[in-house]
Structure 1
Amino acid sequence: MKIIKILNNNVIYGRDRDGYAIVMGKGIGFNGKAGQKLQSEQIEKIIRMDSDETTSSFVKDLERIPHEFFELSNSIVDYATTALDTKLNGNVYITLTDHISFAIERQQKGLLITNPMLYEIKHYYPAEFQVGLHATEMVQRRFGVDLGENEAAFIAMHIVCARYNSDMTEMMDTTHLVTEIIDLVEQHFGIRLKATSHAYQRFVTHLRFLAGRVVADGQWESEDAMEEDFVQAVKKSFPKEYQCSQLVGDYIEQTYGHKMSNMELTYLTVHLRNMRKGQQQ
């Protein structure tokens, strides 16, 4: 890894055989200079974006934004990857650093913003929302600014996008579709789902992946004869839930132009059945 530019004593912009990257390490930039080759023991973390152009653009942003915000974002990402036990898309450093810097500035100026998706983020992405809450606590400790749960939900949205490799528009569209499906289910069965139950959370997890396929116009893999037997068995065993699945399928096709496959309808039926049983316990 060679140094292209020193950003501060602990962060440099570098390049190796895999491309451009943000490189972190204690004292990695101290007394360094462009063209210098780094030793592996100097490097603690390498951050790669989805393209060299994106990385270069982020370097320009870091020259504009105080480094404290990037360091905080790095700490939040480290916490999120551990708490969620997952890798996050490197672009989250860009979106999160930018968001946090503006969020703190708005709060200091008394410009408060309400997150219209607060309820959905809390209930559809509870783990990511907890990360968002932890992030606001980190902001409070470091900058003395209380961002509140609306901003915690905004931070969670960035984490969700990085976790599932989607952009903010796709994430919001997916979340909106999940809400629409839940509304249809509640109307069909004449019930109010218990958002705090484990059955509800499992059901929402399935809906997130279903909605993600719909928004991305993805297709279920081809079905074989054995799967057809499974479809028929589920239809026969859970007719009320299958009828609800068909209503959801009709709505999705009419609204989004996506025709759900037999297996998608069948798995939705199974999850509906499990959700209803769980709600009754």
Structure 2
Amino acid sequence: MSPNAHITSHRKPRRPATQSWVVRTGVAGGVLSTLAVAGTASATTAEKPIEATAELPAFNAELSASIAQSAVATQQTAVDYQVRAQVEDALDQAKADAKKAKEEAERKAEAERKAKEKREADEARASRDNDRGSLGTKSTSGSGSSSSSSSTATGSAATLVDFLRAQVGKAYVMGSTGPSSYDCSGLVMAAYSQIGIDLPRVSQDQSTAGTQVSTSNLKVGDILYWGSAGSAYHVAVYVGGGKFIGAQNPSTGIVERSMSYSPPTGAVRVM
């Protein structure tokens, strides 16, 4: 007997071959099951993009908000451009209006300058004519004959002159015919009514009411006018001695002035 025969062996008993196959088969099956589960998980993971579409509405909302903001900004920019264009148009129109007004003012100033030059030339010519008339009157007076342009008037002419001198100092009021104020034609009409002569109301008509006479051959009571016959803008009455009485303007009122102060354009005789 072997000396070690009484020692119990600790070696594991060999398993039957069938049991080993079963174990191996089970292990393989477990591995395959694990792979199948993993495959299923992978398939599930591959389908995730379909679930991700659930996040698209949030993305679309953000995109819509951004587009809306962009549209508002674009509209505001368009409005700003429109306002700017309107402002520029207004400025251009204002410049054009200012230029037109300036040109109009320059034209008026030029017209007034020419009118003034013409008026001064007419006054100078009338003054020369009046001087020549005065020389003729002096010559006639020296010969002992009476002059019709003498300041001494009789009859109706005297009545006319007396009335006019009584009005000197009163106010000039446009459209007034007395007794406390007059305009130029209102005074002439009122004066002639004192001697029974009815005259038209306005200076234009009074400048053609009688016979046209030269300003160098005037008689007391002749109507003097300034401007053209039929379109005169002022009238007065010759009172002799190279003077006239008329309602001049609101500043001076009714005055007696020398012919040289403002030589008339023409005269008419109505008596």
TM-score, normalised to structure 1's length? Answer: 0.19
TM-score, normalised to structure 2's length? Answer: 0.19
Please say which structure displays the higher CA radius of gyration.
Answer: 2
Q: Which structure carries more helix by proportion?
A: 1
Q: Which has the higher contact order (CA 8 A, sep 6+)?
A: 2
